[in-house]
Amino acid sequence: MPDSESTTPSGEPPVYTWQPGGPQPQWLPVPPQPRPTYQHDAQWPPPPRTQGLRRSGGGIAGAIAAGAAAFFKYGLVLLKVGKLGPTLISMVIAPFFYMVFFGPVFAIGVVLLILVHEMGHVIVSRLEGVPMSLPVFLGPFGAFTRMQQAPRDARQEAVIAIGGPVFGTAAAFACFLWAEAVAPGTLHYLLLALAYFGCFINLFNLIPMSPLDGGRVANAISPWMNVVGLVIMGAVVLFLGNPFALIIFILGLITTVQRFRNARRGLEPAAVPPSTRLRIGAAWVTMLLVTAGGMSITHSAIVDSNSVPGVTQSA
């Protein structure tokens, strides 16, 4: 130890270290290390750097930009991964549109019913030997599938078109049977509501007007059935004033005009014999009766219930 205590030029006590190499240890003071200085030296530790964040657009704007960049980076990759990419992504997004009008659980049920309907087209199309794309959802406008080659004749087009309502109506009746098997409660009424909606949406799709399924079915009977469908859809728009029905009516008007033009150019599917038309017409009328009957049955089941959650009965 030193004989007397010394100080460094800065006035702080020295720090000693032992340095080997001599017969006796030698103690040398370590020069004090200068403390880093900042613009606001009174604040220690120094504040985090935020200048770089401001330059890159921090805050909410930066978060939105980062989210958008992530979607375009990874979402587009999902679109390219296999044939299921567009179906899965659009199916995940679709319930958010229906949540605007319904609850989240009912919205998911609606999307599943639409999926079954569209897969009915895909299954029947492949049974007919016509390749078809997997369904892609269009938000509040349902979903669509696309045949990857033209149908052989009007019968094949009609069979593929009616496959969707057949599968979709079967799913709606499955919801009804499930509802009847459970005790009255939230699940019971949810399934009844889905059954009613499923029958309604499939009945709506059977309106004989392209691009609805009914238009493709009725076209095998007579192209003029599309004109009848336009009149029906026009009445729906006039009496209900639904904006979605108006959009479908406009699309139907454009599609019907195009089909008549294609017929004059020989671009429509080949016509079928009268006996085939009769069978197709009978199948179409049968589906109309089944879906309308399903709506009536599920409506009666809801009305005949003692109580419905959220509805107060008055004497």
Q: Judge whether 131 and 173 are in contact, CB under 8 Å.
A: no
d(CA 126, CA 118): 13
Residue indicated by tokens 């089909």 = 259
Written as one string, the DSSP assignment of 14-37 is PEEEEE-SSSS-EEEEEPPPPPP-
**What pLDDT digit, counting tens, does each position of 238-280 carry?**
888 778 888 889 988 998 898 888 888 887 888 889 999 999 9
pLDDT at 297: 93
Quote the pLDDT of residue 149: 85
The Cα 217–Cα 210 span in angstroms is 9
Q: What is the pLDDT along the chain (315 residues), one digit of tens a residue?
A: 544 444 445 555 555 555 555 555 555 555 555 555 544 444 454 444 444 434 444 444 554 454 455 445 545 555 555 566 566 676 666 667 767 777 788 888 988 999 999 999 999 999 999 888 888 877 777 777 888 888 888 999 999 999 999 999 999 999 999 999 998 888 999 999 999 999 999 999 999 998 889 998 988 888 889 899 999 999 988 888 778 888 889 988 998 898 888 888 887 888 889 999 999 999 999 999 999 999 999 999 888 875 544 444 443
The CA-based dihedral angle spanning residues 121, 126, 132, 135, taken in that order and rounded to the nearest 10 degrees: 40
Instruction: Provide the β-strand partners of residue 17.
Output: 28
φ, ψ dihedrals at 213, nearest 5°: -60, -40
Amino acid symbol at 302: I
Residue 283 pLDDT: 94
Alpha helices per DSSP H over 71-219: 76-80, 84-98, 104-127, 154-181, 186-205, 213-218
* pLDDT number for residue 103: 77
Strand 136-137 relative to strand 143-144, pairing: antiparallel
The answer to whether 217 and 162 have CB atoms below 8 angstroms apart is yes
- Residue 110 phi/psi, 5-degree rounding, is -60, -45
Q: Report the phi/psi class of residue 314: left, alpha or beta, with left for phi > 0 and alpha for psi in -120 to 50.
A: beta
User: What is the residue-wise DSSP string for 177-229?
Assistant: HHHHHS-SSHHHHHHHHHHHHHHHHHHHHTSS-TTSHHHHHHTTT-TTHHHHH
